[in-house]
Amino acid sequence: MRDFSADHRWLSINTATVRKQRGIDLPLPDILEACAQRGIRAISPWRDQVHAAGLATISKLVKTHGFELSGYCRGGMFPAADAAGLKAARDDNRRALDEACELNAACLVLVVGGLPGALAGQAAHKDIALARSQVTDGIAELLEYARAQAMPLAIEPLHPMYAADRACINTLEQALDVCDLLDPVSAASTAGPRALGVAVDIYHTWWDPKLQAQIARAGEQQRVLAFHVCDWLTPTTDLLNDRGMMGDGVIDIPRIRGWVEDAGFAGYSEVEIFSTQNWWQRDCAEVLDTCMARHRSAV
Protein backbone atom coordinates (compact mmCIF):
# COMPACT_ATOMS: atom_id res chain seq x y z
CA MET A 1 0.00 0.00 0.00
CA ARG A 2 1.34 3.38 -0.97
CA ASP A 3 2.48 5.77 1.74
CA PHE A 4 0.36 8.92 1.56
CA SER A 5 1.69 10.45 4.77
CA ALA A 6 4.51 12.50 3.31
CA ASP A 7 2.90 14.29 0.39
CA HIS A 8 -0.25 14.64 -1.67
CA ARG A 9 0.96 13.46 -5.03
CA TRP A 10 -1.94 10.98 -5.27
CA LEU A 11 -4.61 13.45 -4.23
CA SER A 12 -7.28 14.45 -6.72
CA ILE A 13 -9.94 17.05 -6.01
CA ASN A 14 -13.43 16.47 -7.28
CA THR A 15 -14.39 20.04 -7.99
CA ALA A 16 -17.87 19.70 -6.45
CA THR A 17 -16.00 19.76 -3.13
CA VAL A 18 -15.57 23.53 -3.49
CA ARG A 19 -18.34 24.28 -5.97
CA LYS A 20 -20.31 26.78 -3.94
CA GLN A 21 -18.67 28.42 -0.95
CA ARG A 22 -20.95 30.43 1.33
CA GLY A 23 -23.65 30.42 -1.32
CA ILE A 24 -21.47 31.81 -4.13
CA ASP A 25 -20.63 29.65 -7.14
CA LEU A 26 -16.89 29.33 -7.45
CA PRO A 27 -15.82 29.46 -11.11
CA LEU A 28 -13.95 26.36 -12.19
CA PRO A 29 -10.90 28.35 -13.41
CA ASP A 30 -10.54 29.75 -9.87
CA ILE A 31 -10.75 26.23 -8.41
CA LEU A 32 -8.08 25.02 -10.84
CA GLU A 33 -5.84 27.95 -9.94
CA ALA A 34 -6.23 27.20 -6.22
CA CYS A 35 -5.41 23.52 -6.82
CA ALA A 36 -2.38 24.37 -8.98
CA GLN A 37 -1.02 26.73 -6.34
CA ARG A 38 -1.00 23.82 -3.89
CA GLY A 39 0.69 21.34 -6.16
CA ILE A 40 -2.46 19.27 -6.50
CA ARG A 41 -1.85 17.27 -9.64
CA ALA A 42 -5.29 15.91 -10.45
CA ILE A 43 -8.90 17.03 -10.53
CA SER A 44 -12.28 15.63 -11.46
CA PRO A 45 -14.58 18.35 -12.70
CA TRP A 46 -18.36 18.33 -13.09
CA ARG A 47 -19.91 19.01 -16.46
CA ASP A 48 -21.98 21.98 -15.32
CA GLN A 49 -18.84 23.65 -13.99
CA VAL A 50 -17.03 22.99 -17.26
CA HIS A 51 -19.95 24.30 -19.31
CA ALA A 52 -20.17 27.46 -17.24
CA ALA A 53 -16.54 28.30 -18.01
CA GLY A 54 -16.50 26.83 -21.51
CA LEU A 55 -14.96 23.54 -22.55
CA ALA A 56 -12.19 25.14 -24.60
CA THR A 57 -11.19 27.39 -21.71
CA ILE A 58 -11.05 24.50 -19.26
CA SER A 59 -9.24 22.26 -21.72
CA LYS A 60 -6.58 24.91 -22.13
CA LEU A 61 -6.28 25.49 -18.37
CA VAL A 62 -5.95 21.77 -17.73
CA LYS A 63 -3.04 21.66 -20.16
CA THR A 64 -1.49 24.86 -18.84
CA HIS A 65 -1.54 23.63 -15.26
CA GLY A 66 -0.61 20.10 -16.28
CA PHE A 67 -3.56 18.52 -14.48
CA GLU A 68 -4.58 14.95 -14.91
CA LEU A 69 -8.29 14.15 -14.67
CA SER A 70 -8.96 11.21 -12.33
CA GLY A 71 -12.41 11.13 -13.91
CA TYR A 72 -15.03 13.28 -15.53
CA CYS A 73 -18.35 13.80 -13.74
CA ARG A 74 -20.55 12.57 -15.19
CA GLY A 75 -22.51 10.54 -17.68
CA GLY A 76 -25.44 8.27 -16.95
CA MET A 77 -29.06 9.02 -16.05
CA PHE A 78 -30.11 6.47 -18.65
CA PRO A 79 -33.72 5.56 -17.70
CA ALA A 80 -36.52 7.58 -19.18
CA ALA A 81 -40.28 7.43 -19.40
CA ASP A 82 -40.43 7.43 -23.19
CA ALA A 83 -38.40 6.99 -26.36
CA ALA A 84 -37.66 10.69 -26.64
CA GLY A 85 -36.22 10.67 -23.14
CA LEU A 86 -34.06 7.66 -23.86
CA LYS A 87 -32.73 9.32 -27.02
CA ALA A 88 -32.02 12.58 -25.18
CA ALA A 89 -30.04 10.63 -22.58
CA ARG A 90 -28.13 8.82 -25.29
CA ASP A 91 -27.22 12.04 -27.05
CA ASP A 92 -26.22 13.78 -23.85
CA ASN A 93 -24.03 10.87 -22.84
CA ARG A 94 -22.21 11.02 -26.14
CA ARG A 95 -21.54 14.69 -25.56
CA ALA A 96 -20.25 13.89 -22.08
CA LEU A 97 -17.95 11.30 -23.56
CA ASP A 98 -16.66 13.75 -26.17
CA GLU A 99 -15.90 16.23 -23.38
CA ALA A 100 -14.12 13.56 -21.35
CA CYS A 101 -11.94 12.87 -24.38
CA GLU A 102 -11.21 16.55 -24.96
CA LEU A 103 -10.10 16.82 -21.31
CA ASN A 104 -8.15 13.55 -21.51
CA ALA A 105 -9.94 12.13 -18.48
CA ALA A 106 -8.98 8.75 -17.05
CA CYS A 107 -12.62 7.69 -17.35
CA LEU A 108 -16.15 8.95 -17.73
CA VAL A 109 -17.95 8.30 -14.44
CA LEU A 110 -21.49 6.97 -14.81
CA VAL A 111 -24.20 7.76 -12.29
CA VAL A 112 -26.72 5.59 -14.00
CA GLY A 113 -30.05 7.09 -12.95
CA GLY A 114 -33.09 5.67 -11.17
CA LEU A 115 -36.82 5.80 -11.72
CA PRO A 116 -37.55 8.43 -14.37
CA GLY A 117 -38.96 11.57 -12.79
CA ALA A 118 -38.12 10.52 -9.23
CA LEU A 119 -35.40 13.14 -8.87
CA ALA A 120 -38.05 15.79 -9.47
CA GLY A 121 -40.35 14.05 -6.97
CA GLN A 122 -42.68 12.53 -9.56
CA ALA A 123 -41.64 9.02 -10.49
CA ALA A 124 -43.18 7.94 -13.79
CA HIS A 125 -43.45 4.36 -12.52
CA LYS A 126 -42.28 2.04 -9.72
CA ASP A 127 -40.60 -0.62 -11.81
CA ILE A 128 -36.97 -0.56 -10.70
CA ALA A 129 -36.28 -3.70 -12.73
CA LEU A 130 -37.29 -1.79 -15.86
CA ALA A 131 -35.02 1.10 -14.89
CA ARG A 132 -32.16 -1.35 -14.41
CA SER A 133 -32.83 -2.87 -17.80
CA GLN A 134 -32.72 0.57 -19.41
CA VAL A 135 -29.45 1.26 -17.62
CA THR A 136 -27.89 -1.89 -19.03
CA ASP A 137 -29.12 -1.02 -22.52
CA GLY A 138 -27.87 2.54 -22.20
CA ILE A 139 -24.41 1.50 -21.05
CA ALA A 140 -24.22 -1.06 -23.84
CA GLU A 141 -24.94 1.60 -26.43
CA LEU A 142 -22.56 4.15 -24.94
CA LEU A 143 -19.86 1.52 -24.62
CA GLU A 144 -19.66 1.10 -28.38
CA TYR A 145 -19.17 4.83 -28.78
CA ALA A 146 -16.65 4.91 -25.93
CA ARG A 147 -14.59 2.01 -27.24
CA ALA A 148 -14.14 3.82 -30.53
CA GLN A 149 -12.58 6.73 -28.67
CA ALA A 150 -10.73 4.58 -26.14
CA MET A 151 -12.44 6.31 -23.20
CA PRO A 152 -13.12 3.91 -20.29
CA LEU A 153 -16.55 4.02 -18.66
CA ALA A 154 -16.64 3.76 -14.87
CA ILE A 155 -19.95 2.63 -13.38
CA GLU A 156 -20.28 4.19 -9.94
CA PRO A 157 -22.53 2.16 -7.66
CA LEU A 158 -24.40 4.67 -5.53
CA HIS A 159 -25.55 4.15 -1.97
CA PRO A 160 -28.91 2.35 -1.80
CA MET A 161 -30.51 5.51 -0.39
CA TYR A 162 -30.21 6.92 -3.94
CA ALA A 163 -31.78 3.90 -5.67
CA ALA A 164 -35.02 5.71 -6.47
CA ASP A 165 -33.76 8.99 -7.81
CA ARG A 166 -30.08 8.91 -8.73
CA ALA A 167 -28.76 5.43 -9.45
CA CYS A 168 -30.36 2.00 -9.42
CA ILE A 169 -26.94 0.33 -9.46
CA ASN A 170 -26.31 0.14 -5.74
CA THR A 171 -23.63 -2.41 -5.01
CA LEU A 172 -20.24 -3.17 -6.46
CA GLU A 173 -21.42 -6.72 -7.15
CA GLN A 174 -24.29 -5.42 -9.23
CA ALA A 175 -22.01 -3.05 -11.17
CA LEU A 176 -19.53 -5.85 -11.86
CA ASP A 177 -22.33 -8.11 -13.06
CA VAL A 178 -23.14 -5.43 -15.65
CA CYS A 179 -19.46 -5.22 -16.57
CA ASP A 180 -19.28 -9.00 -17.03
CA LEU A 181 -22.36 -8.93 -19.22
CA LEU A 182 -21.33 -6.06 -21.48
CA ASP A 183 -17.55 -6.32 -21.45
CA PRO A 184 -16.65 -9.94 -20.86
CA VAL A 185 -13.04 -10.64 -20.07
CA SER A 186 -11.49 -13.18 -22.39
CA ALA A 187 -8.32 -14.99 -21.56
CA ALA A 188 -6.59 -13.04 -24.30
CA SER A 189 -7.50 -9.64 -22.95
CA THR A 190 -6.49 -9.59 -19.30
CA ALA A 191 -3.81 -6.92 -19.60
CA GLY A 192 -4.52 -3.24 -19.15
CA PRO A 193 -7.58 -1.32 -18.04
CA ARG A 194 -10.97 -2.38 -19.27
CA ALA A 195 -13.31 -0.40 -21.51
CA LEU A 196 -15.90 -0.84 -18.77
CA GLY A 197 -15.13 -0.79 -15.07
CA VAL A 198 -16.17 0.76 -11.79
CA ALA A 199 -15.60 3.81 -9.65
CA VAL A 200 -15.30 2.71 -6.02
CA ASP A 201 -16.61 5.50 -3.79
CA ILE A 202 -16.28 4.60 -0.14
CA TYR A 203 -19.25 6.76 0.84
CA HIS A 204 -21.51 4.62 -1.31
CA THR A 205 -19.97 1.24 -0.60
CA TRP A 206 -18.35 1.20 2.86
CA TRP A 207 -21.33 -0.56 4.50
CA ASP A 208 -21.34 -3.49 2.07
CA PRO A 209 -20.53 -6.84 3.72
CA LYS A 210 -19.28 -8.08 0.35
CA LEU A 211 -17.10 -5.04 -0.36
CA GLN A 212 -13.71 -6.68 0.13
CA ALA A 213 -14.63 -9.68 -2.00
CA GLN A 214 -16.10 -7.56 -4.77
CA ILE A 215 -13.11 -5.21 -4.86
CA ALA A 216 -10.92 -8.28 -5.27
CA ARG A 217 -13.19 -9.49 -8.06
CA ALA A 218 -12.90 -6.10 -9.76
CA GLY A 219 -9.15 -6.30 -9.41
CA GLU A 220 -8.91 -9.65 -11.11
CA GLN A 221 -10.41 -8.03 -14.17
CA GLN A 222 -8.60 -4.68 -13.96
CA ARG A 223 -11.92 -2.94 -13.48
CA VAL A 224 -11.10 -0.46 -10.70
CA LEU A 225 -10.96 2.77 -12.66
CA ALA A 226 -11.43 5.33 -9.90
CA PHE A 227 -11.35 5.61 -6.11
CA HIS A 228 -13.38 8.30 -4.32
CA VAL A 229 -13.11 9.25 -0.67
CA CYS A 230 -14.94 11.29 1.94
CA ASP A 231 -16.48 10.02 5.21
CA TRP A 232 -19.79 8.90 6.70
CA LEU A 233 -20.88 11.11 9.59
CA THR A 234 -22.95 9.98 12.58
CA PRO A 235 -25.46 11.44 12.59
CA THR A 236 -25.89 12.19 8.90
CA THR A 237 -28.38 15.03 8.68
CA ASP A 238 -29.05 15.11 4.94
CA LEU A 239 -29.25 12.29 2.42
CA LEU A 240 -27.24 14.14 -0.22
CA ASN A 241 -25.22 17.01 1.14
CA ASP A 242 -23.85 15.97 4.53
CA ARG A 243 -20.73 14.09 3.58
CA GLY A 244 -17.82 14.25 5.96
CA MET A 245 -14.16 15.11 5.53
CA MET A 246 -11.92 12.06 5.69
CA GLY A 247 -11.25 11.25 9.32
CA ASP A 248 -14.38 12.90 10.68
CA GLY A 249 -16.63 9.88 10.24
CA VAL A 250 -16.80 6.16 10.80
CA ILE A 251 -15.29 4.70 7.62
CA ASP A 252 -12.04 2.79 7.99
CA ILE A 253 -10.58 4.45 4.91
CA PRO A 254 -7.05 3.00 4.99
CA ARG A 255 -8.46 -0.51 5.18
CA ILE A 256 -10.58 0.00 2.07
CA ARG A 257 -7.74 1.76 0.25
CA GLY A 258 -5.60 -1.25 1.04
CA TRP A 259 -8.15 -3.54 -0.62
CA VAL A 260 -8.33 -1.28 -3.66
CA GLU A 261 -4.55 -1.17 -4.01
CA ASP A 262 -4.34 -4.93 -3.53
CA ALA A 263 -6.74 -5.05 -6.48
CA GLY A 264 -4.14 -3.29 -8.58
CA PHE A 265 -5.39 0.27 -8.43
CA ALA A 266 -2.50 2.74 -8.41
CA GLY A 267 -4.26 5.95 -9.39
CA TYR A 268 -5.51 9.01 -7.56
CA SER A 269 -7.54 9.16 -4.38
CA GLU A 270 -10.28 11.58 -5.35
CA VAL A 271 -11.91 13.69 -2.64
CA GLU A 272 -15.60 14.32 -3.28
CA ILE A 273 -17.48 16.07 -0.49
CA PHE A 274 -20.96 17.56 -0.73
CA SER A 275 -21.51 19.52 2.46
CA THR A 276 -24.07 22.30 2.58
CA GLN A 277 -23.74 23.10 6.25
CA ASN A 278 -20.04 22.64 6.83
CA TRP A 279 -17.43 22.52 4.07
CA TRP A 280 -19.41 24.59 1.58
CA GLN A 281 -19.56 27.32 4.24
CA ARG A 282 -15.76 27.76 4.33
CA ASP A 283 -13.14 29.37 2.11
CA CYS A 284 -11.94 27.31 -0.79
CA ALA A 285 -8.39 27.60 0.52
CA GLU A 286 -9.31 26.12 3.90
CA VAL A 287 -11.20 23.25 2.31
CA LEU A 288 -8.35 22.38 -0.05
CA ASP A 289 -5.74 22.66 2.69
CA THR A 290 -7.82 20.36 4.87
CA CYS A 291 -8.21 17.85 2.01
CA MET A 292 -4.42 17.80 1.64
CA ALA A 293 -3.85 17.30 5.36
CA ARG A 294 -6.46 14.58 5.68
CA HIS A 295 -5.21 12.86 2.53
CA ARG A 296 -1.94 12.43 4.39
CA SER A 297 -3.34 11.57 7.82
CA ALA A 298 -6.63 9.75 7.27
CA VAL A 299 -6.62 8.13 3.82
Residues 251-280 that bind a second copy (CB under 8 A): 251-252
* Three-class SS state of 52: helix
Q: In angstroms, give the least distance from the CB of 148 to a second copy.
A: 30
Q: Which of 85, 242, 94 is nearest to 159 (CA)?
A: 242
How far is 172 from 175, CA to CA, in rounded Å?
5
Alpha helices in the chain (DSSP H): 28-37, 47-53, 55-65, 83-102, 128-148, 172-182, 202-205, 211-220, 253-262, 284-298
Number of residues that bind a second copy (CB under 8 A): 33
Interaction of residue 213 with a second copy, rule CB under 8 A:
no
Under the phi-then-psi rule, with left for phi > 0, alpha for psi from -120 to 50, and beta for the rest, what region is 278?
Answer: alpha
Q: Which of 99, 183, 208, 272 binds a second copy (CB under 8 A)?
A: 208
Q: In angstroms, give the least distance from the CB of 250 to a second copy.
A: 5
Q: Which is nearer to a second copy, 193 or 247 (CB)?
A: 247
Q: In angstroms, give the least distance from the CB of 122 to a second copy.
A: 8
Q: In angstroms, give the least distance from the CB of 42 to a second copy.
A: 26
Q: Phi and psi for 40 in degrees, rounded to 5?
A: -75, 125
Q: In angstroms, give the least distance from the CB of 191 to a second copy.
A: 30
Residues 146-165 that bind a second copy (CB under 8 A): 159-161, 163-165
Burial of 207 by CB count in 10 Å (0-12 exposed, 13-18 middle, 19+ buried)?
Answer: middle
Binding residues vs a second copy (CB under 8 A): 115, 118-119, 121, 123, 126-128, 132, 159-161, 163-165, 168, 170-171, 174, 206-209, 232, 234-237, 239, 249-252
